[in-house]
Amino acid sequence: MYTEFISSEGLIRDAAKSLKKLDIFDEERPIGVQIFGSDIDHMSEATRVASSVLPDLIDINYGCPVKNVACRGAGASLLQDIPKMVKMTAAVVKSTHLPVTVKTRLGWDDKTKNIELVAEQLQDVGIQALTIHGRTRAQMYKGEADWTLIREVKKNPRIRIPIFGNGDIDSPEKALQNRLEFGVDGIMIGRASIGNPWIFREVKHFMDTGCHLPGPDLVERIATCRFHLMESLKWKGDKLGIFEMRRHYSNYFHGIPRIKEYRQKLVQAGNLEEIDEILNSIQMLENDFVLD
């Protein structure tokens, strides 16, 4: 597992929001703290702060494509300045006793797919593993992820560190297929787990047995949704916690017939009491629901 990515600027200013993201629980291990930033000295200082909470590793995000990150010289923006990326990575490695890993993309755009060079140089300055998302920054999350260059990095005789693939893994079949076809050491799953935390156990079971694990029933979906909601309120506060949960309801109840009207009510609900009442209504209809 990884924390939500944390701004180096927020960490060194003791920003409450950033420091909150450093809370680690034993059941989450092994866990990495993922940081991002544009200033090398600040990234070094943030690494020391993050290391003090004793995660299992430090991860650098050189992959985030969103405007307010990349256009400030952080995230995927570093793919336009490989010397700075390498220097920053070396500084982070020297600032911690923990293993350092990196998450990045194929390149900035189709004309600059430089991931093979990036992989070699980051390995040379001491990273312990590399995760590659099979798109460029210019692609954002559009189109289909291209894993062919990820395979080339893995096949490079100079590369000794584990290489993990990322992008479009949304089913156990695709996870196994991509691992075998592209020879990666492992798979990272991000967006497909939103509202569907069961994907990890389903992928593991399928890789181990070749058989599908039964999906969660309605009782488990509702229980997990409730737990997620309460944790969201605890950590984010009522207003933000309820707002951020709205993106998860569709996936928590995906595939359940006649759920549309209830899902719409959940998205519109403005307080815990309303949401709880709607979830109770869904729970009462358990016997009428048959999963697709």
Which helix (H) or strand (E) segment is 36 a member of? strand 32-36
Helices 272-284, 260-268: axis angle to 10 degrees equals: 170
What is d(CA 132, CA 165) in angstroms, rounded to the nearest whole number? 5
Q: How far apart are CA 212 and CA 216, in angstroms?
A: 12
The residues carrying an active-site annotation are: 64
Across the beta sheet with 129-133, the strand order is 6-7, 32-36, 57-62, 100-105, 129-133, 163-166, 186-188
Cis ω for the linkage preceding 30 (within 30 of 0)? yes
The residues, any chain, with a CB within 8 Å of residue 219's CB and separated by 6 or more, are 283, 286
Q: Which long-range contacts (CB under 8 A, 24 or more apart) does 153-161 make?
A: 153/115, 153/116, 153/119, 154/182, 154/183, 154/184, 154/185, 155/183, 156/116, 156/119, 156/120, 158/120, 158/123, 159/119, 159/120, 159/123, 160/123, 161/123, 161/127, 161/128, 161/129, 161/130
The CA distance from 35 to 38, in Å, is 11
- Which residue shows structure tokens 């944390």? 6
Q: DSSP characters for 114-163?
A: -HHHHHHHHHHTT-SEEEEESS-TTTTT-S----HHHHHHHH-TT--S-E
